[in-house]
Amino acid sequence: MSVSLAPAGHMTCESCPIRHRAVCARCESDELARLDEIKYYRSYEAGQTVVWSGDRMDFVASVVSGIATLTQTMEDGRRQMVGLLLPSDFVGRPGRDGSPYDVVATTDLVMCCFRKKPFEGMMETTPHIAQRLLEMTLDELDAAREWMLVLGRKTAREKIASLLAIIARRDASLKLTSAGGQVAFDLPLTREAMADYLGLTLETVSRQMSALKADGVIILEGKRHITVPSYERLMDEAGDDSDGGMLA
């Protein structure tokens, strides 16, 4: 498994979401400079495993580009995806050694990493980092709990619609107009990965995608390009009352 250091030269600080979105938006400049000293970039190819469940994880990181998933696997092979990492999302557990799940790159992936020890050191001296991290972790917790409702109580059709709504909102949030807007995006997941996320089989995913297409909720070009004529309609299919914050 070849993990190469990404060409960091032309990655300006602007492109690192840790600094600007993920951790330290409120820190003063000399603290930012210290973050720079322990920062490095890594890239992975689609399909590569970033960390194995149980492995020691000696860094924390945020996604610069590409998509990664967090999955848990039972001994008999049943799998459940427990998180989806999109650009600017954070991975890693200050204060913990091992990862409780596999982290896998589902597309080509670039991450901005910080060695854990020095990062933890910075947390001690720079309170804003811990506070920002707490905020982010609370967001993830909300997302995980929202997803528990999806997994425990929604029908297959509602599950699919929920997932598409999340991706649409995230992927296309800037393009969304206030109400009933049309959105288009490329699905970054295989049917199998969708099934793993939703607690379904890939056949059921496929069938429900076909059904949503037949009912005009989505328009499919090829297998992966999706146009949502009405975001409102999609939310409706997802059975959500509010469009409240989910997403890992």
Residues that bind a copy of itself (CB under 8 A): 70, 72, 74-76, 78-80, 82-83, 93-96, 100-101, 123-124, 127, 130-131, 133-135, 137-138, 140-142, 144-149, 151-154, 198-199, 239, 241, 244-245
159 close to 199: Cβ distance less than 8 angstroms:
yes
Which residues, 6 or more positions from 77, have their beta carbon under 8 angstroms from its beta carbon?
none
> 226 touches which of a copy of itself, DNA, none (CB within 5 to 8 A by kind)?
none
d(CA 137, CA 133) in angstroms, rounded, equals 6
Nearest to 228 by CA among 169, 175, 184: 184
Indicate the residue among 43 and 162 with the shorter CB distance to a copy of itself. 162
What mask, x for binding DNA by CB under 7 A, covers residues 157 to 196?
Answer: x--------------------------------xxx----
In Å, how far are 16, 33, 92, 132 from 81, measured between CA atoms?
26, 36, 16, 25
Indicate the residue among 19 and 191 with the shorter CB distance to DNA. 191
Number of residues engaging DNA in binding (CB under 7 A): 21
Indicate the residue among 4 and 155 with the shorter CB distance to DNA. 155
Asked if 86 is part of the footprint of DNA (rule: CB under 7 A), the reply reads: no
Minimum distance, C-beta of residue 79 to a copy of itself, in the bound complex (Å): 7
Helix axes of 156-171 and 202-214: crossing angle, nearest 10 degrees: 80
Indicate the residue among 16 and 160 with the shorter CB distance to DNA. 160
Structure tokens of 170? 């995230």
d(CA 71, CA 22) in angstroms, rounded, equals 22
